[in-house]
Amino acid sequence: MKYILKIIVFIWLPLLSHTQQANTDSLRNALKKTADGPARYRISRDIYSVYEESNRDSALYYADQGLLIAQRSHQKNAEAMSLSNKAYQLTQLGRFADALQCLQQAFIIAEDPRTEKDPYWDVSTLGFKGNNRLLALSYAHHMFAILMFRTENTEQQIFHFKEAGRIGTEIGYLPRMILANMNLGQSYLLINKLDSALLYENEASRLQSKSPFEKYAGHIRMSLGDIYAAMGEQSLALQHYYSGLASVIKWNNQGVRSRIFLRLSKYHLASGNKDSALYYSTQNLAAIQSMGAVAGSETNIGIGYEYMYLSYQLNQRFDSAYKYQSLAMTAKDSLNKVKIRNITDFQNLTFREQIRLREVEKERTAYQNKIRTYLLLGGIALLLLFALFFYRNTRQKHKAKIKIEKAYDDLKATQQQLIQSEKMASLGELTAGIAHEIQNPLNFINNFSEVNKELLIEMNDEIEKGNYTEVKAIAKDVTDNQGKINHHGKRADAIVKGMLQHSRAGSGQKEPTDINALCDEYLRLAYHGLRAKDKTFNAKIETDFDGSIGKINVVTQDIGRVVLNLITNAFYAAPLSPKGGFRGSDYSHEPTVWVSTKKEGNKIIITVRDNGPGIPANILDKIFQPFFTTKPTGQGTGLGLSLSYDIIKAHGGKLKVESKEGEGSEFIIQLPV
Amino acid sequence: MKILVVDDEKDVQVLFEQRFRKEIKNGEMEFAFAYSGEEALDYLTKHLHEAVLILSDINMPGMTGLELLKQIKQKHHEPPPVVMMITAYGDAENYNMAMRLGADDFLTKPLEFAVLKEKLKAIH
């Protein structure tokens, strides 16, 4: 069975190589003829793919070609992909320092979101239509992990393979997922975590079976074989190695091919199978030679010579054994030197890189500090500006407030002055009226006192004559006259008092007042006052108080004066005959006075009504003027209604009158609540 | 000489009667009193040509003294009686109005009876 397999492999290999050669030639021609652009890049990518695992130098050359095309076309995604390809080849060639530099550039490009703005180029192996930047990033992580593997940094190796797999899964690109799992399996094998290794490798195998991407199927078989070998499952391991060998030959994966040959030759050497050992060692060497010497890799020319030497030794062909022994020694020696130099270079680079990164970090910190300082200063300046602005604003508002308050105070004072001056003005306009009111009593006072002087002189004469009848008559006249003087003196006094009251500046404080109680009180005061003066006076009183009024804010004494005035007027008018003027009242009607209160919205209405003769239409508009009166001379000052009007106005209310001749009058006070 | 005094102040009657008691006693002067303009016109109609002198107040309820003056000067002619206005309104407006309506004199309250007597004697 094994033998047949080997035969098939041997017949097949040259055929395949031959087809691939023809393919590569036509691609190379196409590359020459095509201008820079996605198509040309694609061709270079395809040629690279052919050489990727079969010839390191050619692969490196075409990776560089792709890189140049991408750079000339300013295609960042393609550039990052080619940089990763180049880094992979450099890693496999043991040029770790150069590989690292390429990968650093690849990361800078693939981590920059602006890269996504590139127009779409097909940069992947299988033709990927998703996010090319993330594909390139996954690729860079993968290649970086391989570099870490080759420079023996297992921790970083596992981390970056996982990153590569995570991003590959995120964008849903199977080849990336397959390779990440495959390499993670190998990585865990490296640290002897066989269960994890098997888990990842099986996952790679499962994903691979769903994908047309078969290039690394052989690699997965080999890895599985390695894991089973580590588990002590020799036959399972061999089974996987042989199955892997078929795949790597089909896909011309010389790297893995040599590695499988190496494993088989190791196995046969250990088993003492002389022919097989020599056969696989020879195959191994041929594969290594076709790839090019690889320093630091598992399979290198030194290893190739060593197994030849060991196989010839087993076959007891000591000439050849000796020849390969010395070849192996020389190659290993020089390869070791190269390996040491490469590792040193890499370490130097990473050390320099670390210093450089530290410098960059320092610069960045310094820059950030500078920026932070500027921002802070800017912030402080801005805050100061705001503070200044608010301070100014507040000051202006404060100033404006003071101005407004002053204006308001001025306005209030002016209003007060206006009310006062209005009173004074109305007083001034009526000096003539005042004169009349004062001069009339004075006329009597002056003249009666003079007459009395004359009368007393006459009386003296009559006393001397002994004419006592005449003396008595004169004495009676003098007494009467004194009464008149007194009467007119009081009249003048009342006028002056009323006048003062009229002009007095309002100083009373407003207080909550029960309007109903106030009306009731003044109603009784007025009624009994009149009854005391005039025994014949009588009038019916009707009240209708609205209990819902409650207390309202007024100057109690002022409103009381108004109510008293209106009620007194009503009591005066009510008994007068509705027809026939003030005199000759015959009391044929029933004098009645109505007092009522009512709440209407936000107003209080107080009504005082009488059924007297009413107010003639021609004087209705004059009744609120100071000194206007319809009462016979001496009975009224003419200031009552004028004063009442002013008081109600000062309270923000209205005093109105409705009257019909012959039917009576109604005075209505409206006060705001 | 018959004098009609028109004033709404009733005490005016007592005052005049006492002030002119000598003249009344010796028959020199005779006084009639009216307490309103209407009453005065009524009196003048009823006692035609009796009163030769009218002393009238101006500020009275109802017909004012000035209205009365106007009526007297228009209606009661041949010879029109002498009308003297006696008022507490001593202002220029009242004075000018009274003079335009034909008042013969203009006296202000409080009344100086000594001055009034002189004027009455001059007419006499």
Q: Considering CB atoms only, which of B14, B89, B111 is closest to A443? A: B111
Considering only CB atoms, which chain B residues are within 8 Å of A622? Answer: none
Mean pLDDT score of chain A, rounded to an integer? Answer: 83
Whole-angstrom Cα distance, residue A577 to residue A584? 8
Lowest mean pLDDT among A181-195, A291-305, B72-86: A291-305
Specify the pairing of strand A540-544 against strand A592-600.
Answer: parallel
User: What integer pLDDT is reported at residue A436 of this predicted model?
Assistant: 64
Asked if B111 has any chain A CB less than 8 Å from its own CB, the reply is yes
Contact call for residues A219 and A256 (beta carbons, < 8 A): yes
Distance from CA of B32 to the nearest CA of A (A): 19
User: What integer pLDDT is reported at residue A420 of this predicted model?
Assistant: 58
Chain-chain contact of A443 with B90 (C-beta, under 8 angstroms):
no
Of A508 and A284, the structure prediction assigns the larger pLDDT to: A284
**Strand pairing partners for A658?**
A666
Interval A572-625: pLDDT, tens: 888 886 654 444 444 467 889 999 999 998 899 999 999 988 888 888 877 887
* Cis before A632? omega within 30: no
User: What integer pLDDT is reported at residue A429 of this predicted model?
Assistant: 42
* Contacts of the segment B101-107: beta carbons below 8 A, 24+ positions apart: B101/B66, B101/B69, B101/B70, B101/B73, B102/B69, B102/B73, B103/B69
User: What integer pLDDT is reported at residue A540 of this predicted model?
Assistant: 85
For chain A, how far is it from start to end, CA to CA, in angstroms?
A: 119
**CB atoms inside a 10 Å sphere around CB A220:** 29
User: Residue A358: phi, psi to the nearest 5?
Assistant: -65, -40
Interval A459-491: pLDDT, tens: 999 999 999 998 999 999 999 999 999 999 988
Whole-angstrom Cα distance, residue B6 to residue B10? 10
Considering only CB atoms, which chain A residues are within 8 Å of B88? Answer: 435-440, 443
* Contacts of the segment A17-23: beta carbons below 8 A, 24+ positions apart: A17/A252, A20/A50, A20/A252, A23/A50
Chain-chain contact of B9 with A444 (C-beta, under 8 angstroms):
yes
Closest CA to A183 of A151, A145, A155, A238: A145
Asked if B87 has any chain A CB less than 8 Å from its own CB, the reply is yes
User: Residue A551: phi, psi to the nearest 5?
Assistant: -100, 140
Q: Which of A458, A479, A583, A633 to mutate to test the interface with B (most CBs of B within 10 A)?
A: A633
Listed in sequence order, the DSSP H helices in A430-465 are 431-465
Interval A387-445: pLDDT, tens: 999 999 999 999 988 998 888 888 878 766 655 555 554 454 445 556 667 888 899 99
Lowest mean pLDDT among A146-160, A197-211, A408-422: A408-422
Give the global pTM: 0.45
The stretch A30-43 carries a mean pLDDT of 85
The stretch A308-316 carries a mean pLDDT of 91
Whole-angstrom Cα distance, residue A494 to residue A638? 11
Considering only CB atoms, which chain B residues are within 8 Å of A633? Answer: 8-9, 61
In whole angstroms, how large is the CA radius of gyration of chain A? 64
User: What integer pLDDT is reported at residue A11 of this predicted model?
Assistant: 38
User: What integer pLDDT is reported at residue A296 of this predicted model?
Assistant: 54
Specify the pairing of strand A592-600 against strand A603-610.
Answer: antiparallel
User: What integer pLDDT is reported at residue A582 of this predicted model?
Assistant: 46
Which amino acid is residue B70, in one-letter code?
Answer: K
DSSP class of B8: S
Lowest mean pLDDT among A50-59, A66-75, A544-553, A623-632: A623-632
* CA A185 to centroid of chain Cα atoms: 50
Closest CA to A607 of A556, A663, A670, A661: A670
Residues 6+ apart with CB under 8 A from A636: A629, A630
Residues 6+ apart with CB under 8 A from B15: A443, A444, A447, A448, A451
The stretch A216-227 carries a mean pLDDT of 92
The fraction of chain A above a pLDDT of 70, given in percent, is 86
The stretch B32-41 carries a mean pLDDT of 92
């005052």: which residue's tokens?
B15
Contact call for residues A578 and A589 (beta carbons, < 8 A): yes
Edge-first strand listing for the sheet containing A654-660 = A540-544, A592-600, A603-610, A664-672, A654-660
| Residue A16 reports pLDDT greater than 60 | no
Chain-chain contact of A447 with B110 (C-beta, under 8 angstroms):
yes
**CB atoms inside a 10 Å sphere around CB A455:** 19
Encode A472-489: b = buried (16+ Cβ within 10 Å), e = exposed: eebeebbeebeebbeebe
User: What integer pLDDT is reported at residue A530 of this predicted model?
Assistant: 72
Collapsed DSSP state (helix, strand, coil) of residue B108 = strand
The stretch A614-637 carries a mean pLDDT of 75
Residues 6+ apart with CB under 8 A from B109: A439, A440, A442, A443, B86, B87, B88
Whole-angstrom Cα distance, residue A588 to residue A85? 132
The stretch A502-508 carries a mean pLDDT of 56
Asked if B43 has any chain A CB less than 8 Å from its own CB, the reply is no
The stretch A509-527 carries a mean pLDDT of 83
**CB atoms inside a 10 Å sphere around CB A272:** 9
Query: What stretch of H or E contains B104?
Result: none
Of A362 and A380, the structure prediction assigns the larger pLDDT to: A380
Interval A111-135: pLDDT, tens: 888 888 888 888 777 777 888 899 9
Whole-angstrom Cα distance, residue A585 to residue A572? 12
Whole-angstrom Cα distance, residue A230 to residue A474? 165
Q: What is the CATH number of the domain that holds B116?
A: 3.40.50.2300
User: Residue A591: phi, psi to the nearest 5?
Assistant: -60, 130
The fraction of chain A above a pLDDT of 90, given in percent, is 35
Retrieve residue A324's tokens: 């390969």
Whole-angstrom Cα distance, residue B5 to residue B70? 16
Q: So where are chain A's domains?
A: 431-503, 511-672
Closest CA to A179 of A126, A132, A133: A126
Collapsed DSSP state (helix, strand, coil) of residue A623 = coil
* Domain range for B101: 2-123
Specify the pairing of strand A603-610 against strand A551-554.
Answer: unpaired
The stretch B65-75 carries a mean pLDDT of 87
Residues 6+ apart with CB under 8 A from A55: A254, A290, A291, A292
| Residue A533 reports pLDDT greater than 70 | no
Retrieve residue A182's tokens: 């495959």
> Burial, A153: exposed, middle or buried (Cβ in 10 Å; 0-12, 13-18, 19+)?
middle
Chain-chain contact of B109 with A451 (C-beta, under 8 angstroms):
no
User: What integer pLDDT is reported at residue A125 of this predicted model?
Assistant: 74
User: What integer pLDDT is reported at residue A195 of this predicted model?
Assistant: 92
Q: How many domains does chain B have?
A: 1
Whole-angstrom Cα distance, residue A18 to residue A4? 22
Retrieve residue A400's tokens: 């404006």
User: What integer pLDDT is reported at residue A421 of this predicted model?
Assistant: 53
Across A400-537, the runs of DSSP E, i.e. the strands, are: 511-514
User: What integer pLDDT is reported at residue B14 of this predicted model?
Assistant: 92
Q: Considering CB atoms only, which of B18, B61, B110 is closest to A451? A: B18
| Residue A183 reports pLDDT greater than 90 | yes
User: What integer pLDDT is reported at residue A539 of this predicted model?
Assistant: 83
The stretch A90-94 carries a mean pLDDT of 87
Which amino acid is residue A618, in one-letter code?
Answer: N
Residues 6+ apart with CB under 8 A from B6: B33, B34, B35, B36, B37, B39, B40, B54, B55, B56, B57, B60, B65, B68
User: What integer pLDDT is reported at residue A593 of this predicted model?
Assistant: 92
ipTM of the shown complex: 0.90
Give the alpha-carbon dihedral of A620, A625, A628, A634, to 10 degrees.
140
CATH of domain A511-672: 3.30.565.10
DSSP class of A113: G
| Maximum mean pLDDT: which of A79-88, A115-124, A337-346, A549-558 | A79-88
Count Cβ–Cβ pairs < 8 Å, chain A vs chain B.
60
Crossing angle for the helix pair A468-503 and A431-465, to the nearest 10 degrees: 160
